[in-house]
Structure 1
Amino acid sequence: MKPSRETITTIQKKLMSWYGTHQRNLPWRKTNDPFAIWVSEVMLQQTQVKTVIPYYLKFMDTFPSVKDLATADLEHVLKIWEGLGYYARARNLHKAAILVTKDLKGKIPDQFAPFLALPGVGDYIASAVQSIAFGHCHAVVDGNVKRVLARMFCLEHPVNQPSTHKQFKALAQTLLERTDPSTFNQAMMEMGALVCTPAAPKCSDCPLSNQCSALKTQTLDQFPMRVPSRPVPTRTIAVGIVRRNGRLLITRRQLDGLLGGLWEFPGGKLEKGEDSPSACIREIREETGIHVKIDSFLTRIKHAYTHFKIEMDVFYCHYISGEIELNGPIDHKWVQISEINEFPFPKANLKFIPLIKMENT
């Protein structure tokens, strides 16, 4: 359905008035710098605001300009990003900064198409940066916006189906306030984050309650519609802390793919019928070429990724024989425990590293 001109105007006025009074005091709202806005939008993908704020402040303090990011070593970038997750975001942002610096003379594109062409930039980030930093009329559609639209207009398009994005985008574009798209887009996202929440929406605080079809028809519990997700599988992994002459072996993952470029303790998935100690020894041999023996069990770590969960059994091992010949990892180091903090690790590894430090103090 296409709302009337009168409805559109009412939504725009009420929403932007509400935002002027109720918007949160967030650090990226204090700048017009397109680089800073770009960084914030990359970090905010699939990550809560309260989690992002300290990472954003540290990142911008370390890399205050696109040139600073472009000239930084990727490992340094990943270390600053460490713990925030979805590391492809950091790798792509770094790649894009290099392209902007080398090919575009350090100028972030102020038009949608060339900005969209940068690594890691999709419709959401392109729309957000182009509207918020440059004032262009591109509607931003994230999960919060979809939820607001679905309830306000009783939309039957599942919000978790990529094929329905264009319907939400078209409606958001119709509602977009043309003279100040930056404020309108941020107001829509803020409404979803603070008022039109997934559970127990605060309808009594909503400036658009009179325009909400789901509230009028008492069908709030039916919107937004979602296609049921498949059960998330659990993978069992065995990892070894290999000790040799007072040093520990760490390996670096390939730059592409899950957790690309991060360092980790070697290990991998259990094969069918295999127990964790056997898998630990086998995986270390296959990945590094060396032979080890299990000394003791350290801990079991549970961690969830987007599409799967892991249960990680962690063992202390000692080196027996062999020379390092990497099969999978792109680098290795024998490090002292005091050097561990210099390297970026996946969050699952960060959960047990404090235990290693405790036993070595």
Structure 2
Amino acid sequence: MRDLSSTELSETLLGWYDIHARSMPWRIGPADRATGVTPDPYRIWMSEVMLQQTTVAAVKEYFTRFTTRWPTVTDLATAEDADVMAEWAGLGYYARARNLLKCARVVAFELGGQFPDTLDGLLALPGVGPYTAAAIASIAFDRSEAVLDGNVERVMSRLFNIHDPLPGVKPVLKDKAASLTPALRPGDYAQAVMDLGATICTPKSPACGICPWVAPCAARAEGTAAELPKKTPKKPKPTRYGVAYVARTTEGAWLLERRPDKGLLGGMLGWPGTDWGDAPSRNPPFTADWSRLEGEVKHTFTHFHLILKVETARIPEGFNLRPDQELLPQAGFKPSDLPTVMRKAFDLYQGNPPIKALG
């Protein structure tokens, strides 16, 4: 192990980044940035919101679709909620999509289309928390703000050989990250340390031999890199149960229901269904000869596993829709617009015959 100053550490990492920076659709690479090309705060904000609890590989296609359809924050702010939620389908954590629209409308209609360029200003925006604000401030505006995502937590815990478990040790790791964040090129540095964690200082089998920080890494010297960062054991996720009801009219229109704005899948269209509880229950949207499909839908949310049975029936003539329900004609129905768990129910409907008439 060789001790280096904070300045030497950041300069070493920036030198590595200048050669090995990943290419991403929202990123201005170090060569372009050196010539004076600056990032678009809208694109940086969009990418950071999408990347919350989601991988880079999953986000790239969504980011390209969103920024092609809505190239500016004002374009997004004036979009229909349903269109944005449909484009978001499959990316998960739908509260992020609702906050995306809220934030875009604040920026477009209250801030003249300009994102704040300070940490405090960014923190005041809907859906922008400490990490996202620091990332935007650093990457988009070259503010010397320390970013701390999962990659940076891992890098800091290993570089300084910190064995206290997450999440309690986050403030310590944030202080370490801040101590290395340079005044010059902080945006490039923020992306460099995240790239380091994503490509070299990986959760399993870190490639220490080609790491630019191999010499000063305390965990490498002690042989503890593979066991860091330590985490407080998580409680097992409970399992909840429910029923999704897939129904059509004789003309082929689908019965869909918009979920409440708050809560899981808030504001999204999906199949009518029961509450998700500790035991299965039934609550069909209308009286009919319901048939249960073979198989079940399994889906995992952040805090619980979900198992859904799927039932199907023909919608009777004269059925009265509730305000939160609509009949969507076949021509306007796109399964890809459904949230993932609802699309799984549709897939089960498509591929499985009824096995049990329930009445």
Counting only pairs closer than 5 Å after superposition, residues 202-213 of structure 1 correspond to structure 2 as: 202-213=207-218
Q: Please, which of 188, 191, 208 is the counterpart of residue 186 of structure 1?
A: 191
Two-structure CA RMSD over aligned residues (Å): 2.3
Task: Name the residue aligned to 2:71.
Answer: 64
Structure 2 match to 1:28: 26
1:163-197 alpha-carbon deviations (Å, 9 max, x no partner): 43222211111110111100111011000000111
- Take 1:272 and 1:343, find their aligned partners in 2: how far apart are those partners? 29
Q: CA deviation at 1:58?
A: 0.4
Corresponding position of 2:327 = 334
Query: Where do residues 155-166 of structure 1 align in structure 2 (5 Å cutoff)?
Result: 155-159=162-166, 161=167, 163-166=168-171
Supply the distance in 2 between the matched residues of 1:351 and 1:56 (Cα, whole angstroms): 23
- Asked if 2 retains the 8 angstrom alpha-carbon contact of 1:152 and 1:212, the reply is yes
Equivalent pair of 2:246/2:346 in contact (CA under 8 Å): no
Aligned length: 342
What is the CA–CA distance in structure 2 between the aligned matches of 1:133 and 1:83, rounded to whole Å? 27
The CA deviation at 1:342 is: 8.0
| Aligned amino acid, residue 54 of structure 2 | T
Structure 1, unmatched stretches of 5+, are: none
Whether 2:277 is the aligned partner of 1:303: answer no
Query: 1:270: how far off?
Result: 6.5
Q: Structure 1-normalised TM-score? A: 0.88
Q: What displacement does 1:211 show? A: 1.0
- C-alpha displacement of 1:63: 0.9
- Give the secondary-structure state (helix, strand or coil) at the position aligned to 1:316: strand
Which of these residues, 335, 342, 346, is aligned with residue 349 of structure 1?
Answer: 342
Given candidates 215, 222, 246, the residue that maps to 2:220 is 215
Aligned to 2:239: 234
The 3 A distance-change label for structure 1 pair 324 and 205 is farther
Look up the equivalent residue of 1:33 and give its one-letter code: D
Deviation at 1:50, TM superposition (A): 0.7
1:54 — aligned with what? 61
Do 1:298 and 1:316's aligned partners in 2 also have CA atoms closer than 8 Å? no
Alpha-carbon distance in structure 1 between the residues aligned to 2:136 and 2:198: 19
What amino acid sits opposite 1:310 in the alignment?
A: L
How far has the Cα of 1:250 moved from its partner?
Answer: 0.6
Q: Is 1:16 the equivalent of 2:21? A: no
Per-residue CA distance 1:126-149 (angstroms, 9 max, x = gap): 001111111111011000000000
Instruction: Provide the secondary structure at the position in 2 that maps to 1:179.
Output: coil
CA drift at 1:343 = 8.0
The CA distance in 1 between the partners of 2:217 and 2:160, in whole Å, is 7
Q: Name the CA shift for 1:338/1:174 in 2 (closer, same or farther; >3 Å).
A: same
Is the Cα–Cα contact under 8 Å of residues 296 and 348 in structure 2 kept in the other structure?
A: no
Contact 2:292 2:309 in 1 (8 A): no
Residue aligning to 2:357: none
1:128 — aligned with what? 135
- Alignment match, 2:255: 249
Q: Report Cα offsets for 1:255-283 as digits up to 9, x if no partner.
A: 12211111111112466765xxxx34x2x
1:265 to 240, 251, 271: 271
Instruction: Judge conservation of contact 1:100–1:107 (CA < 8 Å) in 2.
Output: yes
Offset of 1:40 from its aligned partner? 0.6
Change (3 A) 1:351 1:272: closer
More off after superposition, 8-17 vs 201-210: 8-17
Tell me the distance in 2 between the aligned counterparts of 1:74 and 1:271.
29
**Contact kept in structure 2, 1:75 and 1:344, CA below 8 Å:** no
Counterparts in 2 of 1:108 and 1:142: CA distance versus 1, 3 Å: same
Shift of 1:351: 2.1
C-alpha distance in structure 1 between counterparts of 2:278 and 2:305, whole Å: 18
Structure 1 residue 75: Cα displacement: 0.8
* Equivalent pair of 1:298/1:315 in contact (CA under 8 Å): no
* In structure 2, C-alpha distance between the alignment counterparts of 1:273 and 1:70, rounded to whole Å: 41
Name the amino acid aligned to 1:99: V
CA contact (8 A) 1:153 1:214 kept: yes
Q: CA deviation at 1:298?
A: 5.0
1:291 touches 1:319 (CA, 8 Å); kept in 2? no
| Counterpart Cα distance in 1 of 2:90 and 2:77 | 21
2:175 to 170, 174, 179: 170
Question: 1:222 offset after TM fit, Å?
Answer: 2.8
Per-residue CA deviations over 1:288-317 (Å, capped at 9, x if unaligned) read: xx3233134154111111111111111212
1:96-129 deviation line (CA, Å, top 9, x unaligned):
1111111111111112112111110001110011
1:345 deviates by 1.7
Name the CA distance, whole Å, in 1 between partners of 2:198 and 2:277.
Answer: 43
Give unmatched runs, 5+ long, in structure 2.
29-37, 354-359
Bigger mean CA deviation after superposition, 191-200 or 233-242: 233-242
**For 1:325 and 1:139, how far apart are their aligned partners in 2?**
52
Identity %: 37
Measure the CA separation in 2 of the matches of 1:271 and 1:202: 44
* Pick aligned residue for 2:308 from 301, 309, 312: 312
Q: Is the Cα contact below 8 Å between 2:335 and 2:346 reproduced in 1?
A: no
Shift of 1:41: 0.7
Residues 323/336 of structure 1: CA separation in 2 closer, same or farther (3 Å cut):
closer
Q: Which has the larger share of helix?
A: 1
